[in-house]
Amino acid sequence: MPGRGRRHDPFGHILGAAFLLALAAPWAHANPNVETGRAEYQRSCQVCHGEGGRGDGPFASALTVSPPDLTTLAERRGGHFPVFSVAEFIDGRHSPRAHGRVEMPIWGRRFRDDLPPGAAREAAVRGRVTALVAYLESLQSVQVEAVEEIEEVHPTREDLGWRLFIRHCALCHGHAADGNGFLSPLLVATPPDLTRIAERREGSFPSLEVAEWIDGRRSARAHGPHDMPVWGEKLGEFVPSAPGKESVVRGDIQLLVTYLRSIQVPPPE
């Protein structure tokens, strides 16, 4: 963020910023962005994509390419709504279509041009894109899970950890866990390259420390302002109250640790 220094915690802020937690949770569950996204959709998208998102807007017949049915994005992916791909496509500034003729506007550019220059300009652009994605998720014709689809029939622990990472962490840390998430430019602290945790520890991956840092309930950051959610608490919010709730939370944290350990870059030869 222009004009602001970046701080670094012991693990380089492993899992994002607390104020972005709502973006990491499943999109359709009481997400306040949905109503904001509805207004944005009506203003910017409805004329082509139609009131219900089915591609039947009043301008649709005048287009050389028919607008797609946006209510079936998840259905066409086996029930998985591709949150980050949709966000990047709407924004458009970082995709090949930003450099040539396209049927759909580069909304990231148009939203930016609507706003006065300033430090908050990019944050506002990404906020509008985020709200649109939340609204589109709410339109889906099937119940969706906000993770990208993987093909393994019998997922490994690494696969399960990857799903948790995509749902809760990738918006800040990126699909590749390299710190280049969709929202990373808005963070005060630069998201680290999580594939190099072991490299920064002379080749040893500190599993117990990483698990404790993700959990956060027994660290100082649980008692005051911090840049990363206390995931031991937040993951519990997605689990019904029951005698085994704590075991589920700890299991999810261990799956995240297993996934992070699996993606460490090999030491130089």
The structural domains of the chain, with segments of one domain joined by +, span: 27-138, 152-262
Closest CA relative to residue 23, chosen from 13, 37, 12, 10? 37
CA distances from 235 to 75, 154, 249 (A): 26, 24, 6
Query: In terms of C-beta distances under 8 Å and separation of at least 24 residues, what long-range contacts does 221-225 make, across chains too?
Result: 221/9
As a whole number of angstroms, the distance between CA 138 and CA 142 comes to 10
- 8 Å CB contact between 110 and 121: no
pLDDT for 5: 38
| Predicted local confidence at residue 173, as pLDDT | 87
Report CA 269 to chain centroid distance, whole Å: 34
Instruction: Report how far apart, in Å, the C-alpha atoms of 61 and of each of 48, 56, 64, 65, 95 are.
Output: 9, 8, 8, 9, 26
Residue 153 CB burial class (10 angstroms; 0-12, 13-18, ≥19): exposed
Residue 238 has pLDDT above 80, yes or no: no
pLDDT score of 171 = 79
**Residue 141 burial (CB count, 10 A):** 14
pLDDT value of position 63:
84
Region 220-228: mean pLDDT is 58
The DSSP secondary-structure symbol of 11 reads: T
Distance of CA 19 to the CA centre of its chain: 13
* pLDDT in the model for residue 176: 85
Q: What pLDDT, on a 0 to 100 scale, did the predictor assign at position 10?
A: 36
pLDDT at 6 over 60: no
Positive or negative, the CA dihedral 192, 194, 200, 205 is: positive
Mean per-residue pLDDT, 230-255: 83
Backbone angles phi, psi at 145, to 5 degrees: -125, 125
Q: Which pair of structure tokens corresponds to residue 262?
A: 């699996």
Over range 193-206, report the average pLDDT: 93
pLDDT the model gives residue 224: 53
pLDDT mean over 14-40: 56
DSSP string, 149-180: ----SS--HHHHHHHHHHHHTHHHH-TTSSS-
Q: What SS3 state is found at 145?
A: strand
Write out pLDDT tens, residues 37-88.
Answer: 999 999 999 999 999 999 999 988 888 888 999 999 999 888 888 887 888 8
Summarize pLDDT for 82-129 with one digit per residue, the tens.
Answer: 887 888 889 887 665 544 556 688 898 888 888 887 767 777 888 888
